[in-house]
Amino acid sequence: MLSFLKLLLAFAPWLSFLVIAQGSLLRLKLGLVVALVLSVVMGLSHLHRGVILWTGLTFFSYATIAVALLNDVWTARHMGVLANGALALASWLTIAVRKPFSLDYAREHTDPSLWNTQAFIRTNVVITSAWALVFTVNTVLAWGKMVQFILPEWGYEVISYSLLIVTAAMTIWYPNHHRRIQETEAPAPQLHRRNLLNRIWGYRLRIAPLMKRRG
């Protein structure tokens, strides 16, 4: 739960941008400035780290200059696609290099002896993959909203927010689920060994009378 809260904190600049930058160009500019300031402050105070930090700093720096200072209409129009696309690209990249971004937050609340175990890494690959997939889908949804394809704007927003909420819930649920599976499967080798010893002991008990008869 603590690692999830830390992960959620890492997305604070993006969440603030999502809330503020709605409805007008002025709010979009304000949202970009607030998100950039939050990214810088959180980076300097070590509340934020890893690829999500650098993605946020890069994206919000570019977008703030392009929209707030240069009034770049193209960037403003494609903001949803660019924001979600940047997150999706960064997330898939961390998986490709076998360093899923959720590792940076999960390690803070996990015994260091478990950091390199397959179970720990696999859990974070699954979690990061879920976020990467959602960011990818949201990129497509942002494009659909931009070109007004089939659904109204609120329809795209409902789907997008629902996916984010479901993925956040999955981030909490999956590590505990995976841990319970491991705890259930862990005694299996011991049980197998016990059954094998019982068979060997049973065989010895059956063969002992025959050996006495031959003697």
pTM here?
A: 0.77
How far out from the chain centre does Cα 124 lie? 7
**Along the chain (215 residues), what's the average pLDDT of each consecutive run of 10 residues?**
65 88 90 93 80 91 94 93 94 91 79 79 90 95 91 90 89 76 57 47 43 49
Question: Token pair of 160, please?
Answer: 């997008």
Q: Could you give the maximum distance between any two Cα atoms of the chain, in Å?
A: 103
**Cβ neighbours of 141 (radius 10 Å):** 22
Give the separation between CA 141 and CA 151, rounded to whole angstroms.
10
